């Protein structure tokens, strides 16, 4: 019964408050306090219809979350070192800026290489980079950016030891509320769970299994790696679902599947004709130069 009334609220803005009162009066006493405003109802309807998703162009995440990150929520991406967490953050930022939206990265670990961001497809003109020194500053900067209207704010805590610890849960709840109020996506990348109950979605990235090419007389080249992203928490969805995440280095073709790990003795020096196939953008440029 409630949905047609909600539609009426949205379609007849002039009568919104009257219709909202009608909706609230028709609800049981216990539920009335949950219906706060027409905007909240609108968001509920969009969430239910899956219209509020923020596409990430990372197939694993888009498949797990039915189209992308939910707007207005704190999404926590947990992953230890070499889990593909930072690459995934950059990919999400690249997707946001490629559609013409502004995006911000609060980089507590101070680990961004602008070359790497450019290589991942981030439009640097629409990208704001903040480099706090402590977690407290990072949380404050994140809240300012959300209040400033950024539709996507990524907060990366770097690798342990995180400068400032985990933060208090009240601060994370405050950020989640700010994201909800401004309909922004707040993506928190952390080495371990930090946001507690504030996170609407929690994804966990496993350790990347490195893919090497070469051996047996030819030099070893880092070709990329493969990992898995597991859905650990999301309202209305089955937990434990996993999707494969495949990552390649810039100059080496993407491996179809991670090859078996080679033995521990890479001994050969790269042949001269293979030197240009460098593994990072700056080395590629060095080789080209």
Partner 1 sequence: MASPRIACLLLPLFPLAARLRSEPELIREALVVVEGNGNAARVVAATRLARAASVRPGLTLTQARALCPKLVARPRDGECERTAQEALLEVAESFSPRVEDAGEGIVYLDVDGIERHYPGSTPELDLGRALMNAADAASLPARAGIASSKLAARVAAGLPEPPVIVPAGEEAAFLAPLPLQRLAPEVDVADTLERWGVRSVGDFARLPPSRVASRLGRLGRELHATARGLDPRPLMPREPPPVFHEGMSLEWPLVALEPFLFVGRAALDRLCQRLESRGFACIRLVLELRLEPDGHQSRSVDLPAPTRDVKTLLTLIRLELEARPPGAPVAGFAFLAYPDRPREAQLSMHGPAALSPDKLATTLARLFALLGPDRVGSPRPVNGHRPERFSLVDFSPPPPPEVRREPRAGRGLLSVRVLRPPLEIEVLTAAGNGDAETPVEIRQPATEEAAKRTSVEGQVKVASGPWGLEEEWWADDPTGRDYWDVEIAGRGLYRIYRERATGTWYADGIYD
Interface of this chain with partner 1, residues 32 to 71, rule: CB under 8 A = 55-59
How many residues touch partner 1 (CB under 8 A)? 94
Q: Which of 69, 74, 75, 90 binds partner 1 (CB under 8 A)?
A: 90
- Please state, in angstroms and rounded to a whole number, the distance separating the CA atoms of residues 183 and 69: 12
Helix spans in 129-280 (H): 135-147, 169-182
Binding segment (CB under 8 A) for partner 1, from list 21-29, 42-50, 123-131, 168-176? 123-131
Residue 279 CB, nearest approach to partner 1 (Å): 6
Residue 166 CB, nearest approach to partner 1 (Å): 17
Residue 190, both tokens = 């952390």
Residue 159 CB, nearest approach to partner 1 (Å): 4
Q: Which of residues 135-164 bind partner 1 (CB under 8 A)?
A: 137, 140-141, 144-145, 147-151, 158-161
Please state the φ and ψ torsions of residue 18, each to the nearest 5 degrees: -65, -45
Residue 287 CB, nearest approach to partner 1 (Å): 8
For partner 1, the closer CB: 41 or 95:
95
For partner 1, the closer CB: 230 or 245:
245
What are the C-alpha distances in Å from 209 to residues 49, 80, 87, 261? 37, 13, 14, 8
Dihedral (Cα; 163, 165, 171, 176), 10-degree rounding: 80
Q: Which of residues 160-219 bind partner 1 (CB under 8 A)?
A: 160-161, 207-208, 210, 212, 214, 219
Please state whether beta strands 185-190 and 74-79 pair in parallel, antiparallel, or not at all (unpaired).
parallel
Does 102 contact partner 1 by CB under 8 A? Answer: yes
Q: Which of 21, 237, 239, 254 binds partner 1 (CB under 8 A)?
A: 254
- Please state, in angstroms and rounded to a whole number, the distance separating the CA atoms of residues 172 and 75: 11
Residue 80 CB, nearest approach to partner 1 (Å): 8
Q: Which of 74, 95, 108, 203 binds partner 1 (CB under 8 A)?
A: 95
For partner 1, the closer CB: 237 or 275:
275
- Please state, in angstroms and rounded to a whole number, the distance separating the CA atoms of residues 188 and 79: 11
Instruction: Give the residue from 110, 45, 87, 74 showing the smallest Cα distance to 250.
Output: 87
- Please state, in angstroms and rounded to a whole number, the distance separating the CA atoms of residues 21 and 16: 9
For partner 1, the closer CB: 170 or 287:
287
Residue 15 CB, nearest approach to partner 1 (Å): 25
Residue 205, both tokens = 């990235």
Binding segment (CB under 8 A) for partner 1, from list 13-21, 34-42, 133-141, 172-180? 133-141
Question: Can you list the pairs that 139-146 forms with residues at least 24 positions away whose Cβ atoms lie under 8 Å?
Answer: 139/167, 139/171, 139/172, 139/175, 141/106, 142/106, 142/175, 142/186, 143/174, 143/175, 143/178, 145/104, 145/106, 146/175, 146/178, 146/179, 146/182, 146/184, 146/186
Q: Which of 4, 14, 28, 100 binds partner 1 (CB under 8 A)?
A: 100
For partner 1, the closer CB: 22 or 210:
210
For partner 1, the closer CB: 44 or 115:
115
- Chain centre to alpha carbon of residue 60: 11
Does 96 contact partner 1 by CB under 8 A? Answer: yes
């Amino acid at each position: 019964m409630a949905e047609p009334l909600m539609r009426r609220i949205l379609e007849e803005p002039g009568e919104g408050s009257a219709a909202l009162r009608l909706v609230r009066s028709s609800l049981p006493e216990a539920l009335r306090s949950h219906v706060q405003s027409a905007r909240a109802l609108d968001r509920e309807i969009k969430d239910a219809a899956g219209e509020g998703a923020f596409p990430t162009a990372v197939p694993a995440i888009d498949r797990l979350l039915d189209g992308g990150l939910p707007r207005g929520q704190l999404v926590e991406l947990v992953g230890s070192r070499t889990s593909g967490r930072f690459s995934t953050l950059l990919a999400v930022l690249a997707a946001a800026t490629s559609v013409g939206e502004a995006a911000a990265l609060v980089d507590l670990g101070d680990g961004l290489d602008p070359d790497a961001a450019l290589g991942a497809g981030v439009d640097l003109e629409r990208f704001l980079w903040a480099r706090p020194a402590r977690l407290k500053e990072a949380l404050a900067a994140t809240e300012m950016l959300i209040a400033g209207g950024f539709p996507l704010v990524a907060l990366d805590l770097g690798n342990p030891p995180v400068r400032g610890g985990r933060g208090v849960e009240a601060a994370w709840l405050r950020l989640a509320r700010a994201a909800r109020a401004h309909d922004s996506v707040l993506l928190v990348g952390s080495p371990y769970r930090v946001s507690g109950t504030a996170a609407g979605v929690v994804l966990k990235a496993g350790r990347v299994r490195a893919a090497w090419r070469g051996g047996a007389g030819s030099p070893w080249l880092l070709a990329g790696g493969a990992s898995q992203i597991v859905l650990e928490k999301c309202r209305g969805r089955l937990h434990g679902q996993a999707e494969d995440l495949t990552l390649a280095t810039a100059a080496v073709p993407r491996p179809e599947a991670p090859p078996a790990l080679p033995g521990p003795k890479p001994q050969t020096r790269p042949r001269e004709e293979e030197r240009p196939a460098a593994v990072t953008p700056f080395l590629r440029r060095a080789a080209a130069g």
